[in-house]
Structure 1
Amino acid sequence: MVRRVIHIDQEKCNGCGICANACHEGAIGIVDGKAQLLRDDYCDGLGDCLPTCPTGAITFVEREAAAYDEEAVKAHMERRKQEQAAGHGSVSHTEPAKEAVAFTGCPGSRARQISHEETDAAQNEAPAAPLHLQSQLTNWPVQIKLAPVRAPYFNKARLLIAADCTAYAYANFHQEFLKGKVALIGCPKLDDVDYSEKLTEIIQNNDIQSVTIVRMEVPCCGGLQHAAMTALQNSGKFIPWQVVTISVDGKILDQAF
Structure 2
Amino acid sequence: MKRKIIHIDEDTCDGCGECIPECPEGAIQIIDGKARLVSDLFCDGLGACLGSCPNDAITIEEREAEPYDERLVMERIVEGGPSLIEAHLRHLKDHGATDYLQEAVSYLEENGINVPTITGGKAHACAGTCPGREARTLETTEGQERAASTTSRLGHWPVQLHLLSPLAPYFKEADVLLVADCVAYALAGFHDRFLAGKSIAIACPKLDSNKDAYIEKLRLMINEAKINTLTVIKMEVPCCSGIVRLAQEAASRASRKVPIKSITVSIRGEIIEEKWI
> What interval of TM-score do these two structures reach, taking the shorter chain for normalisation?
0.3 to 0.5
Structure (1 or 2) with the larger CA radius of gyration: 1
> What TM-score, normalized by structure 1, do the two folds share?
0.48
> What TM-score, normalized by structure 2, do the two folds share?
0.44
State the structure with bigger RCO (CA 8 A, min sep 6), 1 or 2.
1
